[in-house]
Chains A and B, each alone.
Chain A
């Protein structure tokens, strides 16, 4: 543990947010480092001093009247129904899941030298007398398959990648990119594609922030700011995190559609896999 890490860990400990292994590492460091022990005392002092500002004077008597007067000057804002937006959001989410569930299964790839399978049966078959057996469940994709969409796009040759991100020949080019990366069972919804595309646009700026040490990868697939950032960089980080959070939710919904589980329950696992995929890719 470095001095900087020990001091940051002590700051977490002040808030009761340091886990047991972290505490053990911190204690080991502090036992040997007088400089850090002194520093930590100053953090204690800072926390104590700030806590003394908690006292708040009573609400001024005339404040409520003043506020009412100010608000009365603002025109009334009529709106959509209180529940209309959540309902729309839920309906959209349900639609995404339905689209994913109903996505056509991938056709088997022909062996080298073999003619591709026809897309339409050559002759009409009579309807079955008995109900057709339930189709075998689609193989459940691993998290890594799902997260490899990004990997495939990023590792595709530049001309191909540019075509994909310009939206030209999206499906073909993407299929080629995924095939090059040896991936199967990857379906891309428009929503996921749009999010990936906007992330791609800000990639260089995010990389620059990371190189400058201003942000770092957290363990939940999101970026953490290492210090206060200028407003523009804060917005950039928030946009990136918002894109990542959207991807995580969409991936979880897609996976839930495949497995019949709950997207909400899958999200923590998806976050971890997302973080691991980013770290593995060095991004």
Chain B
């Protein structure tokens, strides 16, 4: 860590005064979490890296607006979710991607085992299944995708999701129900299997 011995609040304060080294220290402590969410949201290396970079660029240019009402990591999380949401909205406006095209997409989300062992057939099946689940998730409305990732992958509570997305707990519950329903329907539609 570039700035040992400082608390998060001190690093934020120094960053707000324009200290890049302090901000880099904050980056180092939060990168793993930011990467994890970026990967889970986007499911591929390129988009996840872009999302991480944009998140820190936006955080740096807006650090003066950070009020300290939540932890720095939570603030970052919110920036990341909003950036992801905006990007997805723009993408969906710019191009109409058919569901068939999505199935044939080669941007595989799940890392493949490098050296298949004796369980190769089962692992392959698992990788294919994971890819199918990922592509089904990617085909959903970004609102549903976000809430499913936050609940099932990040394992956040309704309250935490509500705070991050700025919606009441009741809305989180309703979105999750609709999202799960949309997920099962999309999977059946994409892969022709009744789940």
Contacts and interface: CB of A to CB of B under 8 A. Distances in A.
A79 B31 contact: no
B177 A8 contact: yes
Interface stretch (B15-23, B95-103, B117-125): B15-23
Interface size class, chain B: 35 or more
Contact of B56 (A8, A47, A67): A67
A63 B179 CA distance: 32
Contact of A54 (B67, B143, B153, B178): B153
Interface in A1-49: 7-8, 11-12, 14-15, 17, 42-43, 45-47, 49
A63 B137 contact: no
A63 B49 CA distance: 7
Contact of A45 (B57, B111, B176, B195): B195
A8 to B, nearest CB: 5
Contact of B16 (A54, A64, A79): A79
A56 B45 contact: no
B28 to A, nearest CB: 7
Contacts of A55: 110-111
A234 to B, nearest CB: 8
Contacts of A82: 9, 12-13, 16, 66, 68
Interface in B5-62: 9, 12-13, 16-18, 20, 23-24, 27-28, 31-32, 35-36, 39-40, 43, 45, 49, 52-53, 56-57, 60-62
Contacts of B166: 238
A102 interface: no
Interface of A: 7-8, 11-12, 14-15, 17, 42-43, 45-47, 49-57, 59-60, 63-64, 66-68, 70-83, 85-86, 216, 218-220, 222-229, 231, 234, 237-238, 241
Contacts of B176: 11, 15
5 contacts: A51-B152, A53-B40, A75-B61, A78-B18, A238-B166
Secondary structure of the B contact surface, majority rule? helix
Nearest to A224: B170
B27 A67 contact: yes
A70 B35 CA distance: 16
Contacts of A228: 141, 143-144, 175, 178-179
Given A11-B177, A50-B183, A77-B63, A56 B35 contact: yes
Closest 6 pairs (CB-CB, A-B): A79-B64, A224-B170, A11-B177, A228-B143, A50-B152, A76-B18
B133 A52 contact: yes
A50 B186 CA distance: 13
Interface in B53-96: 53, 56-57, 60-69, 89
Contact of A241 (B65, B168, B174): B168
A77 B60 contact: yes
B174 A8 contact: yes
A78 B61 CA distance: 9
B130 interface: yes
Contacts of B148: 50
Contact of B49 (A50, A66, A78): A66
B53 A46 contact: no
Interface in B128-150: 129-130, 133-134, 137, 141, 143-144, 148
A46 B183 contact: yes
